[in-house]
Amino acid sequence: MPYPVEHRHLTKERILRSARRLFNRHGFDAVSIDDVMADGGLTRGSFYAYFGSKGDLYAGSVTHILNEKQILSSDGLSIDPRAVDNAAQFIRDYLSLDHFEDVDGTCPLIALPTDFLRKEVRVREAFETVLKTMIDVFEQALQRKGQAARDRARAIAALCVGGMVLARSIGDRALADELREAAMDVALSLWQWPHRTSDKGREGAETARRPASGAGEGITIGADGQRN
């Protein structure tokens, strides 16, 4: 009996999800192709029907985040309008406590080691694609108002990725939360959007918290794109 039409797509999705989880948890070098396929309930023999190498698989797991987060439209090329409309919520989700604690499902931009990027050109290209797409989403949300909008979009992307990388890199949990929350506040302030809600919001609370360590308080953006 032939496989259903969607079988290939679903199998590739299963491999990508297993790869992302294992790579995030253990790192690229510690995870083998056999590990990934076994985690997905598949045999090694079918791997090369979907990917040319482990590096190709890692690159696929990096760009897979774009589809999972509905950043790209169904054509896989253009920005999904929903991503632009929900750009502020994307920032809140990216720098949220849930994302901080979800090591297995984290964004590859946070987990990818820089030495690996230097060695694997295919992965570096995928990494850059995700980052540039993120910047483009933010710029579109700012209605592409010239260089000032582009600069703010880049700064917001840097705050999202850099804030979470720093928070994940230290053992002081209180400081990690402060870094993450301050990055969120400043990123949102670059749009003059409402600041983050409390992490307790995931438990049902809707009360807004004050910005961490004064981050974002009193910040406005003038017509020239300068912070006041």
The per-residue DSSP string of 151-204 comes to HHHHHHHHHHHHHHHHHHH-S-HHHHHHHHHHHHHHHHHTTT---PBPGGGGGT
Is residue 98 pLDDT above 50, yes or no?
yes
Across the range 186-196, mean pLDDT stands at 74
- Report which listed range, 95-109, 134-148, 171-185, 186-200, is most confident: 171-185
DSSP three-state, residue 112: coil
**Which residue segments constitute the domains of the chain, with CATH numbers given?**
7-214 (1.10.357.10)
Residue 48 has what DSSP assignment? G
Is residue 66 pLDDT above 80, yes or no?
no
170-177 long-range contacts (CB < 8 A, ≥24 apart) are 176/100, 177/97, 177/100, 177/212
Is residue 35 pLDDT above 90, yes or no?
yes
Confidence of residue 194 (pLDDT cuts 50, 70, 90): low
Nearest to 166 by CA among 186, 183, 149: 183
Across the range 157-162, mean pLDDT stands at 93
Higher pLDDT, 224 or 109: 109
Other Cβ atoms closer than 10 A to 216: 22
| Distance separating alpha carbons of residues 104 and 118, to the nearest angstrom | 23
In the chain, the percentage of residues whose pLDDT exceeds 90 is 27
Is residue 77 pLDDT above 70, yes or no?
no
| Per-residue confidence (pLDDT) for residue 75, from 0 to 100 | 64
